[in-house]
Amino acid sequence: MRIVSGFLKGKKINFLKSDTTRPLRDFVKESIFNVIKHSNLVDVSFENANVLDLYSGTGSFGIECISRGAKKTTFVENDKHALTILKKNIEQLKIEKKSMVFQTKIFTFLNQLNKINKYDIIFLDPPFEENLFTEELKIIKNSNMFKKNNIIIIHREDISKDSLSEIINIITIKKYGRSKVIFGCFNLDNV
Query: What is the Cα–Cα distance from 12 to 110, expressed in whole angstroms?
Result: 30
The domain in which residue 44 lies consists of 26-190
For the chain, what is the mean pLDDT? 87
In a domain, 5, yes or no: no
For the whole model, what pTM was predicted? 0.91
In a domain, 51, yes or no: yes
In the 3-class helix/strand/coil scheme, how is 79-115 assigned residue by residue? CHHHHHHHHHHHHHHCCHHHEEEEECCHHHHHHHHCC
In a domain, 105, yes or no: yes
Q: Would you say 184 and 35 are in contact if contact means Cβ atoms under 8 Å apart?
A: no
Beta pairing partners, 54: 76, 124
Tens-digit pLDDT string for the chain (191 aa): 889 899 999 999 988 766 555 667 777 888 888 888 877 777 888 888 999 999 999 999 999 999 999 999 999 999 999 999 999 999 999 999 999 999 999 999 998 766 678 999 999 998 877 778 889 999 999 888 899 889 999 998 877 777 788 889 999 899 988 889 999 998 755 44
Q: What is the number of other CB atoms lying within 10 angstroms of the CB of residue 125?
A: 24
In a domain, 82, yes or no: yes
pLDDT of 50 reads 95
pLDDT of 190 reads 47
Nearby residues of 9 by Cβ (< 8 Å), 6 or more positions away: 3, 67
pLDDT of 191 reads 45
pLDDT of 15 reads 85
Q: What CATH number does the domain containing 121 carry? A: 3.40.50.150
In a domain, 136, yes or no: yes
In a domain, 20, yes or no: no
Number of structural domains, the chain? 1
In a domain, 161, yes or no: yes
Query: What is the Cα–Cα distance from 61 to 77, expressed in whole angstroms?
Result: 13
Query: What is the Cα–Cα distance from 29 to 60, expressed in whole angstroms?
Result: 9
Give the DSSP per-residue string, 101-161: EEES-HHHIIIII-SS--EEEEEE---TT--THHHHHHHHHHHT-EEEEEEEEEEEETT--
Q: What is the number of other CB atoms lying within 10 angstroms of the CB of residue 36?
A: 22
Beta pairing partners, 143: none
Query: What is the Cα–Cα distance from 3 to 155, expressed in whole angstroms?
Result: 18
pLDDT of 27 reads 77
In a domain, 21, yes or no: no
